[in-house]
Amino acid sequence: MKLNALSLVAVLILPSLVASQLSGRVGPTTTREAKRNKVCNVLNYGGTASKTADIGKPLVSAFAACKNGGTVYVPPGDYGMSTWASLTGGSSWALQIDGIIYRVGTASGNMIYVGETSDFEMYSSTSKGAIQGHGYIFHANKQYGARILRLGKVDNFSIHDIALVDAPAFHLGLDTCTNGEIYNMIIRGGDEGGLDGIDIWGSNIHVHDIQVTNRDECVTVKSPANNMLIENIHCNWSGGSAMGSLGANTQISNILYRNIYTVQSNQMYMIKSNGGSGTVKNCTFENFIGHGNAYSLDLNAFWSSQTKASGNGVQYTGLTFKDWKGTCANGAQRGPIQILCPSAVACTSITLQNVDLWTDSGNGVTWKCENAFGSGGCLRSGDGSSSYSSTTTLVTAPTAYSAPKMPNDLGSGFGLTASIPIPAVPTTFFPGATPASALLGR
């Protein structure tokens, strides 16, 4: 089929469309090329390619000049950052980071904050751009510092082809964002809680082809959230992916996780609350592979690490877990299926289908359910109107638990006292799955 000029432009700006769970288009509405009609190079706004200089103020100045229809450009090179950049307002702009930004400042907050903007893209054209937070300097002294990157009230956006490394606190947070796409990224943090990989709340977000190493959240959905597709995720010595912590007035619906690979992590997937109210409904978790994780499928409405919230409990209903394979570390000590719900607000319409998980240690695993109703595993049939106490079921080896491994699984995580090397963005994130988009640098 031949395309005229208008048709070709339409194809170039055609947004990412995915049928499952997303409610509409995601990503920027203006092409990358169009935004490069005006380029604001930080070197022209007082920036210096030096690890000891400060790119923060030049970045803000370049943004002011290019925030309505241009590209803020950080060219290849090393840059220090001692003051944080709040980039709010504007529309139809991009932040192109082809260099490496090193945290130098010691303030809390967000190294880079992008807020209240639309039609935004952040990327590296070489796939070699990175932000190095040098969080180990804080963590070695049992302290935390700034988050690396946070978006607030941003719509029609994408972030891709970039590495976020060793955050003093969280790596990437999406606060009340809509119509977004996050892909082709690698995140590496230290072996400590509070160093979350990606935390999301908002609507109509597609996260795919991501690798995370840390000891807390891999890719986690917070409340409120709806219509999200999270797929082709490699939690590589991480805390594992999760939903929560959830408290009062929880509102989460229509979330799909699929093709999630988790190795040597705290859990394959955890849904966590303690008290609270509201609902989590119509969510699917399919095609999970795990190897050597402490927990596997863990829905815990009595999560003791969270202060109990007001309310009788979050209502979990219409959740499907299907096609899970692999092993946990010790299936007798921490069973691969644990679904614990309060008697006042039982879990209903839960489906476990082809959840075939075994253990690396021992010759048996346990399933544990409490006030959880549906089909499969240790779930009981019923509508949740009658409660039951925690029951444990001893299970022998399933016939179909074997699952492939990724070639780039790490042999260990990263400590808290030395700098974490900046890695290359991978080209594979789940066994047998081809990333949806090739790296720009290729």
Specify the CATH architecture of the domain 216-412: 3 Solenoid (2.160)
The CATH number of 26-208, from 2.160.20.10, 2.60.120.10, 1.10.340.30, 1.10.8.100, is 2.160.20.10
As a whole number, mean pLDDT of residues 300-304 equals 96
Q: How distant, in Å, are the alpha carbons of 56, 63, 100, 190, 354 from that of 42?
A: 10, 9, 13, 30, 53
Longest dimension (CA), the chain: 69
Instruction: Provide the H-helix boundaries in 26-175.
Output: 32-35, 56-66, 136-139
pLDDT over 70 (residue 8): no
pLDDT over 80 (residue 68): yes
Output the pLDDT for position 442. 85
As a whole number, mean pLDDT of residues 354-372 equals 96
pLDDT over 80 (residue 4): no
Output the pLDDT for position 20. 65
Output the pLDDT for position 59. 98
Could you list the active site residues?
A: 216, 291
As a whole number, mean pLDDT of residues 110-135 equals 98
- In this structure, which amino acid lies at residue 321? F
- Domain spans of the chain? 26-208, 216-412
pLDDT over 90 (residue 17): no
Question: 């190079």: which residue's tokens?
Answer: 41
Is the fold of 26-208 the same as that of 216-412? Answer: yes
6 secondary structure, DSSP code: H
pLDDT over 60 (residue 7): no
User: In whole numbers, what is the pLDDT of the chain averaged over residues?
Assistant: 95
Cβ pair 296, 324 in contact under 8 A: yes
Q: Which residues pair with 298 in a beta bridge?
A: 270, 338
Peptide bond before 407: cis, by omega within 30 degrees of 0? no
- Those residues whose C-beta lies under 8 Å from the C-beta of residue 225, and which sit 6 or more positions away, are 200, 201, 202, 203, 205, 251, 252, 253, 255
219-268 tens-digit pLDDT: 999 999 999 999 999 999 999 999 999 999 999 999 999 999 999 999 99
